[in-house]
Structure 1
Amino acid sequence: MSVARRVQQWATFGRMWYLYDARWQNPFHSADKIKLYLAGRNKPIYHPLSDCGDHVVVINSLDIALPGMEWEKRILRKAVYNKLDKNLLRRGRMARLHIFPYDKVPDNILENVSAQMRQLRPVPIRLDQIPEEEVVNFPKVYDWPKDHVIS
């Protein structure tokens, strides 16, 4: 077996560590994406009864965006657990899900991360984070009269 083929085989069967930023993401849509990596469905050797899934490190889980009043009922871990296949491999797949409330991850986990999952929706920029120069140079839509009073 050639060296290139051996590396390809190792990459296929090895467990990867993925980083996912949950800031402003819907946990139900994120769970659909995360479950594919936990089960190993992103690999060509996937079989429903094989345990070939990867690790997923979720950061900024305190900043998830929930539709309506869903934040009272659900969290990201429960959403992923319900999306996984209901078989004996479910508990092992959940053990490979690492959720952190902020972007501070322990070094022993962070050194294993080898790829990053793309977010489902872009994170909006808050108004207080926009530079003052950009606000001043932004084109005006309407000029208020000089005698206008805001009450």
Structure 2
Amino acid sequence: MSAARRVQQWATFGRMWYLYDGKWQNPLESADKIVPYLDGSHKPIFHPLNDSGDHVVVINSRDIALPGDEWEKRVYFHHTGYAGGATWTLAWQLHEADPTMIIRKTVYNKLSKNLLRRGRLARLHIFPDDKVPDSILKNVSAQMRQLRPVPRRLDHYPQEELENFPKIFDWPKDHVIN
């Protein structure tokens, strides 16, 4: 058996670690991408009763982007288990309190509702910024592609690139628009 074949088999049956950058990503769409890696449905050996999923490390969860006015409209539910212990929290309030909680709750709700759900969620590692402990980062073997590109701010472009950008009107340097 060749070495390439052995590596392929190890990647099929072993638990891989994937890195996902949540910067400027919609957590609802990101959860759709993360869940197959947690439950193992992207592998050819998948079975709903087997726990063959991988680890997913999500970074930059502080910089997620909800579309439209969902920061003010989306509500997250929590119950303490006691009578009268139900609370509803707006997305911006939950994100202010814990920047990892929106992604965690979204992925939890997208996972299959069975006894394996909490074990699969335990393989989801979320960090509010790009500072990941070396003990976790050394395990990461692949990176998941972002769903949409992160736009660059205008002040992040070099001055030379701004000056060489094609212009619709070629105004003189001393021209002032009123």
Aligned partners of 1:27, 1:94: CA distance in 2, in Å? 15
Identical aligned residues as a percent: 74
Q: In structure 2, do the counterparts of structure 1 residues 147 and 137 end up closer, same or farther at CA, with 3 Å as the change threshold?
A: closer
Partner of 1:25: 25
Partner of 2:84: none
**1:1-150 counterparts in 2 under 5 A?**
2=1, 4=3, 6-72=6-72, 73=75, 74=91, 75-143=102-170, 148-150=176-178
Aligned partners of 1:37, 1:129: CA distance in 2, in Å? 34
Judging by fraction of residues, say which structure has more strand: 2
TM-score, normalised by the number of residues in structure 2:
0.77
Aligned partners of 1:126, 1:149: CA distance in 2, in Å? 24
Length, aligned pairs only: 149
Q: Secondary structure at the match of 2:9?
A: helix
Deviation sequence 1:90-141 (CA, Å, 0-9, x none): 0000000000000010000000000000000011111010000011111211
TM-score, normalised by the number of residues in structure 1:
0.90
Aligned partners of 1:149, 1:127: CA distance in 2, in Å? 20
Q: Give the CA RMSD over aligned residues.
A: 1.8
Q: In structure 2, do the counterparts of structure 1 residues 147 and 111 end up closer, same or farther at CA, with 3 Å as the change threshold?
A: closer
| 67-76 or 119-128, larger mean C-alpha shift | 67-76
Q: Secondary structure at the match of 1:98?
A: strand
Aligned partners of 1:86, 1:108: CA distance in 2, in Å? 30
Q: In structure 2, do the counterparts of structure 1 residues 92 and 6 end up closer, same or farther at CA, with 3 Å as the change threshold?
A: same
Alignment gaps of 5+ in structure 2? 76-90, 92-101
Alignment gaps of 5+ in structure 1? none
Amino acid at match of 2:145: R
